Structure 1
């Protein structure tokens, strides 16, 4: 599929890019100085938090492609706001469960929610469970969503993050991560909306994977662009380092890897709303396997192009790498995705 944006989607890309440009990180010191509340309000005012709410006929306001456009822009800017956790993952779960009032509250920016993931971050936490649960991308969130077994089937449940969760210093410096301090007490679970069917969960996972892929594509593309600009300006032995064949090859290979990941992600984002849930999920697994396989290589190559300064905490390069590493792990790395694809291809299920 050749991914071409419509005029409206191109405008969306420009709006998201402007917000990312003003709210993103240029240096690690910006992690403590950026006004995250103002950035969140800008996204809300532009309507970017409402893309997965439903209109009057029950259709999403924004498509998977439009979610990916915004996610890529925010990833490129390393914007430290919980767009994926609240505006995409939590909002979509609430909409699928028919809890539209709750989804609308998230869309206005008046409230935030996240999702609880299982111990290896490969999927939504499911109760009852004796394992730990992790809340990812929960900066400013009062609650997180998970799944619970019931006599009616799988139900969406909310868990308050006010107590029973500990903040973690994860690899990613731009997004919040918490861990339950023990097995979550079933008495803390509050059921939300109607039971979720198998197709609901397939569709949600396809969107979740496509959105995470879009984020890491943005991270990789902006990192490569920064490295190329630096290679044009940095002079060694009287010439720009970009004139050295070794540096050219490093940048070219990183660029090709990032663009291949972008192509797979574009198809997966389109498939979210255009294909049957199982086919959309297969496309998302394929995109995630492609993105996860190159995320570390591309961003670490960028650190090498920057040389010694690129290995220090004071430089922005490692922030790209850290965000890419977390994106790689969330909902499963390339090995996880390839095994899922193999199961479908070999068993036909």
Structure 2
């Protein structure tokens, strides 16, 4: 089996590529190695997944000709699209980057899948799509028509675009709403990385919404295991779907959306305490109001995921944070 992974030098993409290769699956990795964060970290991730069955192509999703050529060259059986311009706060500063990567780039992936008879497309969505919804836990069967950041809007758009291709061309598509992924080799712009670095350096950490936040932190290995199982399970049309009472999470077409979260939200202060405990250092805290585009609480209903693949994320937050900090200390020689 050949699986094409976009964002292969990224946090989740590198972990997934390694998992696939370990299980005898050929991986075609795509990444543009952009400088949104430390390029050397991306290159280090790639060095971990060097393998005779790993083929790497450096390109942008927005480069239609390049994407088409890669698909025609390798003819993948399945595609996992993880490449995207990430980050809620950055979308306030640089909105065009999100349209180019997350909309134009995703269109190129859909078209390449369509024209090259790809058997299945799995793509990253985000818990951010729940936006102004306060019905907890968040369910894929809830309406998500009120995003509160452009990043979230592009992810919602990806789900709509995928459904269109499932309807028009019978392309099986599976959207994955990730809930605050963390773990070794994580992104430097995310809370765990920022907090760990600041605390070690004796700098204050920014605690938004005065600490009154809850997040369904999800360990990267649990994310990867979920994707691995879903690659082996194409979405089937929901024969009971009705246009009179449309279910947002399924369809009459081969289309499905899943939450991938720990189903166990923790407060931001609990999260910070676990970091302090592992480091043996008390953080200097700067309490700030809620940032534009942020939601105060996330909580994933993962009933559909568990039913369909007999697995749900379960790594304890203290274990996950401990693993990250061990990696951080080793990687940066702290």
Query: What is the TM-score when the length of structure 1 is the normalising length?
Result: 0.38
Query: What is the TM-score when the length of structure 2 is the normalising length?
Result: 0.39
| Larger relative helix fraction | 1
